[in-house]
Chain A
Amino acid sequence: MVRDMRGAAPHSLVLKAGLIGGLVGVYVVAVGVFAAFAARPVVAQSLSLGQIMLLSIALTVGWSAADARQGRSGGLAAAALAGVLAGLVYAGVLLMAREAKLQAMFVALTPAALNTGLFGRTGLAALVAAALIAGLAALGGGLVRQMPAPARRTLLAVAIAVLVGALLRDLWISFFANLLGGRWWVSTIYTGNGLSWTGTGVAVAAGLAWQALRMLGRREAGARSTSLIGIALLLAAAILIPYFTNAFVAQVMLLVGLYALMGTGLNIELGLAGLLDLGFVAFFAIGAYVTALLTADSPLAIAHLSFWEALPIATLCAAAGGFVFGLPVLRVRGDYLALATLGLGEIVRLLVVSDMSAPVIGGAQGIVGIPRPDLAGTPMVSQLSLYYLTLVLTCLVALAGWRLQHSPVGRAWAAAREDEDVAATLGIDLVRSKLRAYVLGAAFAGVAGALFATTLGSIFPQSFKLDVSINVLALLVVGGLGSLPGVFVGSLILIGLPEFLREFGEYRYLFYGFLLILVMRVRPQGLWPDPLQARTS
Chain B
Amino acid sequence: MTGVSTLLSVHDVDVHYGQICAVRGASLDVAEGEVVTLIGANGAGKSSLINAICRLRPCGEGHIRFRGQDLRALRADELPGLGLVQVPEGRRVFGRLTVMENLRLGAFCRKAARDELETDLAAVLDLFPRLAERRDQAAGTLSGGEQQMLAIGRGLMAKPAMLLLDEPSMGLAPRIIDVIYGAIAAIAAKGVSLLIVEQNAFLALELARRAFVMEAGTITLSGPAASLVDDERVRAAYLG
Contact = CB atoms under 8 A, between A and B. Distances in A.
Given A408-B104, A421-B88, A536-B141, A426 B98 contact: no
Contacts of A415: 94, 97, 105, 108
A109 B98 CA distance: 57
Interface residues of B, number: 29
Interface of B: 54, 56, 75-81, 85-86, 88, 92, 94-98, 101, 104-106, 108-109, 138, 140-141, 154, 158
B96 A429 contact: no
Given A408-B108, A412-B108, A421-B88, A427 B80 contact: yes
B96 A533 contact: yes
A136 B141 CA distance: 44
B92 A426 contact: no
Contacts of A533: 96
Contacts of B78: 427
Contact of A424 (B76, B138, B154, B158): B76
A160 to B, nearest CB: 29
Give 6 nearest A-B pairs by CB, closest first: A427-B109, A427-B80, A424-B76, A536-B140, A536-B138, A425-B86
A532 interface: yes
B30 to A, nearest CB: 17
16 contacts: A408-B105, A408-B108, A411-B108, A414-B97, A415-B105, A421-B76, A424-B56, A425-B77, A425-B88, A426-B77, A427-B80, A427-B158, A428-B108, A535-B138, A536-B141, A537-B96
B17 to A, nearest CB: 15
A333 to B, nearest CB: 15
A149 B82 CA distance: 55
A214 B36 CA distance: 57
A430 interface: yes
Contacts of A421: 56, 76, 88
Nearest to A421: B56
Contact of B105 (A411, A535, A536): A411
A122 B101 CA distance: 68
B193 to A, nearest CB: 17
Contacts of B108: 408, 411-412, 415, 426-428
Most chain B Cβ neighbours within 10 Å, of A419, A427, A537: A427
Contacts of A428: 77, 108
A425 B104 CA distance: 14
A426 B88 contact: no
B101 A426 contact: no
A418 interface: yes
A161 to B, nearest CB: 33
Contacts of B140: 536
A429 B88 contact: no
Contacts of A429: 75, 77
A422 interface: yes
B220 to A, nearest CB: 28
A26 B106 CA distance: 60
A425 B54 contact: yes
Given A424-B77, A425-B80, A536 B95 contact: yes
A427 B96 contact: no
B19 to A, nearest CB: 23
Contacts of B106: 426
Nearest to B151: A422
B90 to A, nearest CB: 10
A294 B131 CA distance: 55
A535 B98 CA distance: 11
B85 A536 contact: no
B109 A422 contact: no
Contacts of B76: 421, 424-425
